[in-house]
Structures are given as C-alpha cells and as structure tokens.
Amino acid sequence: MKKIIIAENIVKSFRVGNEKHNVLDGVSVEINDGEFVSVMGPSGSGKSTLMFSMSGMDGIDDGMVSFDGRNLAELNEKELADIRRTKMGFVFQQPTLLKNLNILDNIILPSMRDNRKSAANITEKARALMKKVGIAELENRDITQVSGGQLQRAGICRALISNPKIIFGDEPTGALNSKSAQEIMDIIAEINKEGTAVILVTHDVKIAARTERIMFMRDGKIASEMQFEKFSGTDIDDRMKKVTEKMRDIGI
Ligand SMILES: Nc1ncnc2c1ncn2[C@@H]1O[C@H](COP(=O)(O)OP(=O)(O)OP(=O)(O)O)[C@@H](O)[C@H]1O
Ligand SMILES: [Mg+2]
C-alpha cells in the first residue's frame, strides 16, 4: 500500500522558562493513501502539534516526516507552501474564513493563485462542491450570515477545492451540535470514499468510531492504536463500545 505520510520518531519540544518539555516524544505514524484515521487523547497530549508537524506547518526537532515521497526537511518554505496549497486540505474547529468576502469567494480564494486553472473552472468546481455539501444557495452570503454548520461546510469546500490527497481535520466537528457533527462527518466520509485520505483529531467517540484506525495519544506518544473495517454505517454502537473500552483499558 502506498503511504501518503511517513513520520519517523518525531520529537518536538517547547521551552517554558528553562524547562524543556517534549510535546512529541518519539512519534512514528504512517498514513496510507486514501486511509481514514482519527487521533484521540487528552487535552495537551500533542494531537494538534502532531497534525502541524505532519503537514509541515511546524518544524520538528528530531525525526523525519515525508509527504508523498518527499522529505519535508529538504523543502524550502515556498515548496512547503505549494504542497500545502495543492496536496493538503485543512479543516479546523472554527473555519478561518475572511469576513469581507462572500462564501463563494472564500472557497475559491486558495486556488486563485494557481494560474494553471482558469477562474471559471475554479468557480464551477466550487459550485459543485457547495452543492454536494448542501450550501449551493448560500454563495453570496457573508460569512456572518450563515450557521456554524454551514460555515464548516464552506470550510470543507475550501479545503477540497485543490483536490488534495489528504484532509487534516483538527476537531472539525468540535464546535457543532451532535446532529450537525454527524452530517459533517457524513460529508467527510464521502470525501474519503472517493479516495482522499483523512486524518482527524476528535474528542468524540461517535466520530472516531466511524474511522478505520484510531491512534490514541498520551503525553506526546502514541499510547495505542485500534484498527477497524471500513465503516458500513450499521455497527456504530458496537464500534463505540469497543473504543470506549479501549480508552478505559489504556486509561485515557
Ligand atoms: N507554542 C507553544 N509553546 C509552548 N507550549 C506549547 C506550544 N504549543 C503547544 N504547547 C504545549 O504542547 C502540549 C500539546 O499541545 P497540543 O495543542 O498539541 O495538544 P492537543 O492534544 O491538541 O490538546 P487539545 O485537545 O486541548 O487541543 C500542551 O501541553 C501545550 O501546552
Ligand atoms: Mg488540539
């Protein structure tokens, strides 16, 4: 199976005063092309830091991260930015959309710098994505005129506009009520089904239980992992029970 990400023994520390604190303490992760992975673990265990390290948004102190066959340490800032813009999509808890642009313009903004594609093509793609996630009629709205769930859908469209190989989600459903969260998860699962790898951080057992593999972090390390079949949509209760039991077993 081809790997989209190989991270070996990542170490990352922060200095607080004169104390050095390992936030990532020898983390190794491999993500297959098209895989659907979640990361769980207590607050402060290093989940967001791991996502930033794997996407090259943040440097590491030791170890190695390769993305799509390229060692991130060998790339300059521009090459890293290009890879992030064209091959990675990011969805955060609060979508960082711009206030003075409408929903459509927010979605197409990241790809407008890519002059190989025409503006008309990008707009067409954005409209297709908006339709797919159920916000087709909102393209002219200001971002202050839509709900949290609708805003998150727009954030997903923006993440997908470049046809990324992987979506990084840091608590993408964290700010939503459970119905909206499951709807966003339906969309993310659909995107994954079409071939995009997804790695998402979540505190929600019901979200994690829908993924194929769960990594549990504790104190900057991967404390344990769980592997599931692709989610068929029917055995959520059983999967949630297994995840809850695992978390109890490993004490997180
Ligand atoms: N820039 C920084 N300087 C110092 N310490 C930091 C910095 N960024 C993160 N940390 C520390 O690193 C640890 C891991 O942070 P991280 O944000 O990765 O945790 P997390 O698992 O994502 O937590 P949460 O579930 O609350 O989002 C925390 O103890 C945090 O305080
Ligand atoms: Mg975090």
* Probe residue for ligand 1, chosen from 18, 39, 49, 207 as the CB with the greatest number of ligand atoms within 8 Å: 49
Each residue's pLDDT tens digit, 3-19? 999 999 999 999 889 89
Number of domains in the chain: 1
CA distances, 246 to each of 21, 30, 242 (Å): 27, 21, 6
Angle among Cα 174, 179, 182 to the nearest 5 degrees reads 65
Model pTM score: 0.94
* Probe residue for ligand 1, chosen from 11, 25, 48, 252 as the CB with the greatest number of ligand atoms within 8 Å: 48
Protein residue with its CA nearest to atom 24 in ligand 1: 43
Q: Max Cα separation, the chain?
A: 54
Each residue's pLDDT tens digit, 28-48? 999 999 999 999 999 999 999
Q: Is 150 in the pocket of ligand 1 (CB under 6 A)?
A: no
Over its length of 252 residues, how does the chain's per-residue pLDDT go in tens digits?
899 999 999 999 998 898 989 999 999 999 999 999 999 999 999 999 999 999 999 999 999 999 999 999 999 999 999 999 999 999 998 888 999 899 999 999 888 776 666 888 899 999 999 999 999 999 999 999 999 999 999 999 999 999 999 999 999 999 888 998 999 999 999 999 999 999 999 999 999 999 999 999 999 999 999 999 999 888 999 999 999 999 999 999
Cα 164 to Cα 182: distance, rounded to the nearest angstrom? 22
Q: Is 49 in the pocket of ligand 1 (CB under 6 A)?
A: yes
Distance from Cα 140 to the centre of ligand 2, integer Å: 32
- pLDDT recorded at residue 118: 82
How many CB atoms lie under 10 A from the CB of residue 56? 21
How many CB atoms lie under 10 A from the CB of residue 59? 12
For helices 178-193 and 148-160, angle between their N-to-C axes, nearest 10 degrees: 20
The range of the structural domain enclosing residue 147 comes to: 3-250
Distance from Cα 221 to the centre of ligand 1, integer Å: 13
Structure tokens at 24: 């990532």
The residue type of 131 is K
Q: What is the CATH number of the domain that holds 98?
A: 3.40.50.300
Residue carrying structure tokens 């997804």: 198
- pLDDT recorded at residue 110: 80
Point out the ligand nearest to the CA of residue 19.
Answer: 1
